Structure 1
Amino acid sequence: MKEVVVVGGGKIGSMIAEMLAGCGDYAVTVADASAQALERLETTAPVRKVQVDIADAAALDRLLAGKFAVLSAAPFHLTVAIARAAKTAGAHYLDLTEDVASTRAVKALAKDARSAFVPQCGLAPGFIGIAAYDLAQRFDELHDVRMGVGALPKFPSNALNYNLTWSTDGLINEYCEPCEAIVGGVRRETQPLEDREEFALDGVLYEAFNTSGGLGTLCETLDGKVRNLSYRTIRYPGHAALMKALLNDLRLRERRAVLKDILENALPATLQDVVIVFVSVSGLRGGRLMQETYAQKIYGAPIGGRARSAIQITTAAGICTVLDLLAEGKLPTAGFVRQEDVVLADFLANRFGRRYAPSQAEELAA
């Protein structure tokens, strides 16, 4: 049985711990600075709970000593400290961050590491990049790769058409930070909340707009190989305009703590959500202009006798699948590992990755 540490005892950390401890192959320790978070941990499988200040490097080093892996479900600003401790301990490192600067720091730490460093293992970045790269490899010449993900309430009931489904800090970060893209064959930065478009899926109208971090390392991987590459967050129509008013007109972009307080006290959480994954790739194959699309809806479901949201399930399933593939020797075990290094077929065949498989998603929706 492999010993792993999950840092962060929130909704996503709880789901990761439940999946890993429940499968019987991992001995799970959940670490958090908050005793209250550990007390409220939503797990039925047996886990060890440790209160630790992530800023205390010595305590973190002791916690990770001898462990097979550490999985970070902590806020993005703690990413580098956890990755640094993983390197010291020789433990494999996995995280869920969408923060571009943090991922660059993790990549630098991985250069001479004796263990694997696999950032951005969630939904977006994460699975969306695995699916997009799989489609991209089916073309002789790539033209456009368009990616989008949304975690949305099934029953929107406020002006933003949104409920809080994951980290508020992460949400604000992706709405405020510059976005990576390839436009006309040139890597560049684009602005968040811009390049809005509308599309319909299963008869429902959505909007999509630029947000930061969702591309993971695909800009680097496909640089010089694709004409246009973009990632956009999917919401119900009207959301982007209201968020731009809050961030730009009311200048809450400069007062993120205030915006976080407003959102967390005005928007309720919900377990009745749906995750939408959308990838469209076009280019030449056999001399013909072709297009392939991957589209999926995934719904919440009970796990461990408790209702779980779709964003909990998909995010936790992503990082748990990558951990399994590492343990099985299907991924490099040292240095920096990209999401594109994960084979889509291996991911979907995995016991955790099956949560993304079309038949499983349909079953969950029933």
Structure 2
Amino acid sequence: MSSRRRGSVDRRVSEMRVLVLGGTGRIGSAAAWDLARAEDVEEVGIVGKREEGLKGAADWIDSDKIRLHRQDLAEEGGTIRLMDGYDVGIFALPDRRTSYRALEMAIDSSLPAVDVLEEYHRRPDVHETEGLPVPAGMTPDEYGESLHERAVENGVTFLDGMGFAPGLSNVSIGRGIDLLDSAGGATARVGGIPSKEAAANHPLRYTVTWSFGHVLREYMIDVRVLRGGRIIEVTPLSDREKFVFDAFGKTEALEAAVTPGMPSLLYTRGYLAEFSEKTVRWPGHFGGIDVLRECGLLDLEPTEFQGEAIRPRDFFVSVVGPKLRPLPGEGDVCVMYNTVLGVKGGKAARVDHHLWAGPNEGAGISAMAKVTGFSAAVATRMVGRKEIKEKGIVAPEDGIRGHLYERYIEELNRRGIAVQETVSFGV
């Protein structure tokens, strides 16, 4: 354990110092905005490579708690020294390579942290690795397990995949399971979509609310699910369903299809007979994606065009990405409809959780940035206060449950993120 961590053990809660890696992006800056307004946070450090991005984030957040750190994460010594000056971290990094590297440095610094990437670091996904370097002689699973063991040895709590989905949605599924005497299956339906009015103005009835390249990755890689109590791989965007979202005064027809968004539940709740996570979109979106896939426009294998080798997906993103950016005045929505089936009191029962959250228009924060960033910020303060006791790589559904779940939901509700819980019998 570093000397800085030893020196911070007796710091008062009101003096919590939080370091945000990726704090100049939309999710990271939203988390920093929320943390800067928390009474138990004294300082929020924002890390970035470009001075312009750091200054823009600081001007927007507008708080004297903000400290800016121009730091390249590839420079490990400087990054670890920076981590030594903080009590807890939050990582909102753009890809798996940088996220895993940040985790390794946090372990070396004994810095407890929260990560928002759609990945369970204890079981790395083997598809489209995005530059993730697995040490020689190790399988991806062995590498993930070694990170967990190192974190346990160093007394580090690393709350993994703690945003919207994964994150809030995992916690919701875990809550549903806990409310039942026994659970047999669960389905998570989550997604960030444009408002209904905005959807009509864009191709694919979609606007970009986070990394478009990462969204397309989810549409192309095989997905791990639980079927018959076993982990198997299925085709992406399979098991489609139409459903009506009927809560919070909304009645909207939507579609959902299987994607790889909440992988930790396959292992932490592996006793379930059935589990899958599905991405929610407006009707018609997945049909458009089908055409693009069939035409090869989402492939990564380079093809020759006018004497140059190009990857079709990169070309597609460069052409279509700008057309999917929200126009002035357009908003987005985060949707969640999660279901857990099982038995309670000897009767068939189900637990449903609904969410329909729009942007924080007053602060100019999109719905996706609000739900993801604020969820991560609330959880980061729980980690910083040492309320989550588990060490190592901790899944959201294990870290936030029981009385912590109640407090977590209360905190989200204060931020305009309301989750409706319903328990039904005989269904």
TM-score between the two structures when normalised by the length of structure 1: 0.90
Paired residue type of 2:291: A
Q: What are the Cα deviations for residues 261-302 of structure 1, in whole angstroms up to 9, with x where unaligned?
A: 234222113661111111111122222222221112111124
CA distance in 2 between counterparts of 1:139 and 1:51 reads 48
CA distance in 2 between counterparts of 1:260 and 1:95 reads 26
Q: Does 94-103 or 118-127 show the bigger shift?
A: 94-103
- Paired residues for 1:74-153 under 5 Å: 74-77=93-96, 78-100=98-120, 104=124, 108-113=146-151, 114-153=155-194
| 1:50 partnered with 2:69 | yes
Q: What are the Cα deviations for residues 116-165 of structure 1, in whole angstroms up to 9, with x where unaligned?
A: 11110100000101011111122233222010111111121223111111
CA distance in 2 between counterparts of 1:354 and 1:107 reads 35
| 1:205 partnered with 2:220 | no
Structure 1 unaligned residues grouped into runs of 5+:
360-366
Q: Secondary structure at the match of 2:61?
A: coil
Paired residue type of 1:29: G
Paired residue type of 1:328: R
CA distance in 2 between counterparts of 1:352 and 1:18 reads 17
C-alpha displacement of 1:354: 5.1
Cα-Cα RMSD: 2.2
> Measured at CA, do residues 308 and 106 of structure 1 come closer, stay the same or move farther in structure 2, by a change above 3 Å?
farther
Aligned residue pairs total: 355
Q: What are the Cα deviations for residues 297-321 of structure 1, in whole angstroms up to 9, with x where unaligned?
A: 111124xx52211111110111111
Q: 1:281 aligns with which of 340, 344, 359?
A: 340
Paired residue type of 1:218: L
| 1:219 partnered with 2:280 | no
- 1:20 touches 1:26 (CA, 8 Å); kept in 2? no
C-alpha displacement of 1:208: 0.2
- 1:76 touches 1:102 (CA, 8 Å); kept in 2? no
CA distance in 1 between counterparts of 2:120 and 2:234 reads 13
Q: Partner residue of 1:363? A: none
Structure 2 unaligned residues grouped into runs of 5+:
1-14, 125-142, 301-310, 421-427
| 1:345 partnered with 2:386 | no
TM-score between the two structures when normalised by the length of structure 2: 0.78
- 1:172 touches 1:260 (CA, 8 Å); kept in 2? no
CA distance in 2 between counterparts of 1:53 and 1:120 reads 23
Larger Rg: 2
Q: What are the Cα deviations for residues 74-103 of structure 1, in whole angstroms up to 9, with x where unaligned?
A: 112311111111111111121111135686
C-alpha displacement of 1:358: 4.4
Paired residue type of 1:357: A
> Measured at CA, do residues 39 and 102 of structure 1 come closer, stay the same or move farther in structure 2, by a change above 3 Å?
farther
CA distance in 1 between counterparts of 2:45 and 2:285 reads 38
Q: What are the Cα deviations for residues 40-83 of structure 1, in whole angstroms up to 9, with x where unaligned?
A: 22312231222222222222222212321221111123111111
- 2:241 touches 2:256 (CA, 8 Å); kept in 1? yes
Paired residue type of 2:237: L
C-alpha displacement of 1:20: 0.8
CA distance in 1 between counterparts of 2:84 and 2:294 reads 45
Q: Partner residue of 1:5? A: 19
Q: Does 61-70 or 308-317 show the bigger shift?
A: 61-70
Q: Partner residue of 1:364? A: none
| 1:268 partnered with 2:282 | no
> Measured at CA, do residues 145 and 223 of structure 1 come closer, stay the same or move farther in structure 2, by a change above 3 Å?
same
> Measured at CA, do residues 148 and 358 of structure 1 come closer, stay the same or move farther in structure 2, by a change above 3 Å?
closer
Q: Secondary structure at the match of 2:69?
A: strand
Q: Secondary structure at the match of 2:299?
A: helix
Paired residue type of 2:224: E
C-alpha displacement of 1:331: 0.5
Q: Secondary structure at the match of 2:150?
A: coil
| 1:65 partnered with 2:113 | no
Paired residue type of 2:367: A
